[in-house]
Structure 1
């Protein structure tokens, strides 16, 4: 039960950061914010402070920053629809950007605490082909298939590229530097293959990262996750990945709970991954998401004309209905998988 509560709290924290981005830039832009809410459905706590109502709602899924004139026409001079196009653009962009910034900070913290990979072996997986061949913890991988290794990630890339056209039973040469003896040694290894990936069964030895290096790691990891999301979306649209493979809020909360059992750093990394997903997903030009409002703001900046409010409202409602329907279907699948 505690695991579920922690997971829900962390999920809502990501929503809070996202909506706070909209909120703070709206306030700085002079746009009136009527309500700042975390959760959906009926409110179980609310407090009026100035012009804004702050509320916590019963259903721990989503949240919103309700700006005057955002969804309906308003004569208020401080309404969203009367704001400058650049103010609209920055206000909407701020939500997803806050999630991406948060992800970079989380990955920075993880990198600072767990360290960075080296080309030395820190551990072996179960039934490791490399261990069976005679390699030892502490061995520094120098070459794989006569190709010099600069980063640990290159090992997997070289091995998978080699066995794309070669028999998995064929052995590949791996040269290591054994620190204990000060000698270079070469091993011929027949790797394993699982789920389409070929591997030796080795894990990198980590070293402590400096602050500047950890900042770089945070940014690089965020970019890597952004790229991975677009790769997954591409596979989804081409049918290489089924829609059933996606997870909704229920699945995310479940996985957050699972990661909590693997330690704080595993939990934080997954939180960063979800934050990237939330940021990127909201940037997509889909009705009812931030991306569609960004498109409208860009159109207004380029043409000097506003999008017809009634048409925008109908498209947004239609997109919202489809989106909620999709979330419900995926959530039902996630709930069924719990049992």
Structure 2
């Protein structure tokens, strides 16, 4: 029971931090670009807590499985809660509508009943209808540019005039807003890896190709490699860092490779065959060496960059293998897999949990940059097409692309989730 509770708390905290950091990137640059952020939500589903500040509603929702930044006019903005024929309550200030209540969950102090006949909250900023049930006099009321509307679930957001909508921002600003979420995930990973580096008083793995330890009875020891040797080439190709070294060796399990290395002032060449081991269902090569350790403060801080870069290259190779090595759902993981791995990280302590957070953050950043519609990368691709065409895609075409991408992601997530449940709890 204690371990389950710890896992749940760790999962919520880690996932919450990732979502907040990602969405804050979109939020910050949208604000700087003059785009109205109508809502910043942590979590999904029914609203638990809400407050408004500086034209934005901040909400905490029941399900801790994501979040969103709702920008005026963007695809995430599901529009206003008004339609012809509905009865709302309005607040007036000198004959100017300042608040519109379309919810049954709230009442407006001194609110005036108003039946909507027609409205324009985008360009003209007006409401047309019958006040106090008097259908003998059709009234048109002007709406304040910064008026708010209380939606059906009780969330109060600002209306979305065209000048503060997403599409009204310049192209480079919209592209920056789309890129900012993944960018923040990479920044978070750098910070977390730097913290991990400082926590490791015994030092952190150097990203050089110098050997720190050689395991007993390993392929490397039998080939004559020693601590302090520096591997410079694999099969004649120069390797500049440990990430490239380990990736190359892991990709050739059971296949003989030629290593060129420096031992003191001499350069030697040997042939080794990486041992085949299976990790997380994948066969990789291993010769039994670890990187040299850097104990300096500067080196441990630099682990923020080197650790992130290593993680980026590893995840990128894993993504490439997803397609070149044959598609397999076991190579993917959804919320169930994340929860299962959170349990292992939480048991192993703070450093492991931080490492897992950094891994997820890099993962989230890379996956969101894939050119798949409905992801940030898909939106950036549309920005590139707009720059080439010098005009945006027709709204109908853009919506169709986004819907297709969204449906693809939903179907993929369902398949991955069922597969994860089978892997971790049934198999």
Q: Does 1:194 align with 2:277?
A: yes
Q: Please give the secondary structure, in 1, of the residue aligned with 2:164.
A: coil
CA distance in 1, matches of 2:220, 2:399: 62
Aligned pair in 2 of structure 1 residues 163, 281: CA closer, same or farther (>3 Å)? closer
Report deviation, 1:272. Answer: 0.8
Partner residue, 1:240: 326
1:216 aligns with 2:220: no
The answer for the alignment partner of 1:11 in structure 2 is 15
Residues 185 and 362 in structure 2, CA contact (< 8 A), matched pair in contact too: yes
Match of 1:80 in 2: 166
Q: CA RMSD in A?
A: 3.8
Q: Larger strand proportion, structure 1 or 2?
A: 2
Matching residue of 1:298: 384
Match of 1:54 in 2: 58
**Counterpart position of 2:205:** 117
Structure 1 position 85, deviation (Å): 0.9
- Alignment equivalent of 1:38, drawn from 32, 37, 42: 42
Distance 2:240 2:320 in 1: 30
Q: Does 1:142 align with 2:240?
A: no
- Determine if contact 2:197/2:204 at 8 Å carries over to the other structure: yes
Partner in structure 2 of residue 181 of structure 1: none
1:29 aligns with one of 23, 28, 33: 33
Shift in Å, 1:106: 1.2
Q: 1:332 aligns with which of 418, 421, 424?
A: 418
In the alignment, structure 1 segments of 5+ residues that lack a partner are 167-171, 178-188
| CA displacement 1:110-140 (0-9 Å, x = unmatched) | 223222336565685xx7548998x9xxx73
Report 1:156-305 matches (<5 A).
164-165=255-256, 193-195=276-278, 196-199=283-286, 201=288, 203=290, 206-211=293-298, 213-305=299-391
Are residues 197 and 301 of structure 1, via their aligned partners in 2, closer, same or farther at CA, if it must alter by over 3 Å? closer
The answer to whether structure 1 residue 316 and structure 2 residue 402 are counterparts is yes
| CA–CA separation in structure 2 for the residues paired with 1:275 and 1:207 | 24
Q: How far apart, CA to CA, are the structure 2 residues paired with 1:202 and 1:99?
A: 31
Separation in structure 2 between the aligned mates of residue 151 and residue 286 of structure 1, nearest angstrom: 31
Provide Cα deviations, 1:145-174, integer angstroms capped at 9, x if missing partner: x99x997779866799796238xxxxx9x9
- SS of alignment partner, residue 287 of structure 1: coil
> Considering only CA atoms, is the larger Rg found in Structure 1 or Structure 2?
2
After TM superposition, the score normalised by the length of structure 2 is 0.64
* Equivalent pair of 1:34/1:53 in contact (CA under 8 Å): yes
Tell me, yes or no, if the aligned pair for 1:284 and 1:292 is still in contact at 8 Å: yes
Query: Does the 8 Å contact 2:197/2:303 carry over to 1?
Result: yes
**CA-to-aligned-CA distance 1:49-85 (integer Å, 9 cap, x gap):** 2421111222222211000011279542111011111
Cα distance in structure 2, aligned partners of 1:160 and 1:88: 39
Moved more, 23-32 or 194-203: 194-203
Counterpart in 1 of 2:108?
A: none
Q: Is contact 2:250-2:284 (8 Å) kept?
A: no
Gaps of 5+ in 2: 80-121, 124-160, 265-271
1:289 Cα deviation from its structure 2 partner: 0.7
- 1:185 maps to none
* Compared CA separation, residues 10 and 310, structure 1 to 2 (3 A): same
CA distance 1:36–1:162, shift in 2 (3 Å): closer
Equivalent residue, structure 2, for 1:186: none
Task: Encode CA deviations 1:94-120: one digit per residue, 9 max, x unaligned.
Answer: 111000111111112222322233656
d(CA) in 2 for partners of 1:296, 1:225: 28
> 1:7, 1:254 within 8 Å by CA — same for their partners in 2?
no
What's 2:128 paired with? none
Structure 1 residues 160 and 34, CA, compared in 2 at 3 Å: closer, same or farther?
A: closer
Q: Distance in 2 between matches of 1:320 and 1:193?
A: 39
Q: Secondary structure at the match of 1:140?
A: coil
1:69 and 2:73 matched: yes
Contact kept, 8 Å, 1:123 with 1:205, in 2: the verdict is no
Kept after mapping to 1: 8 A contact 2:19/2:66: yes
Post-superposition CA distance 1:17-47 (Å, at most 9, x none): 0000000111111100111111222222222
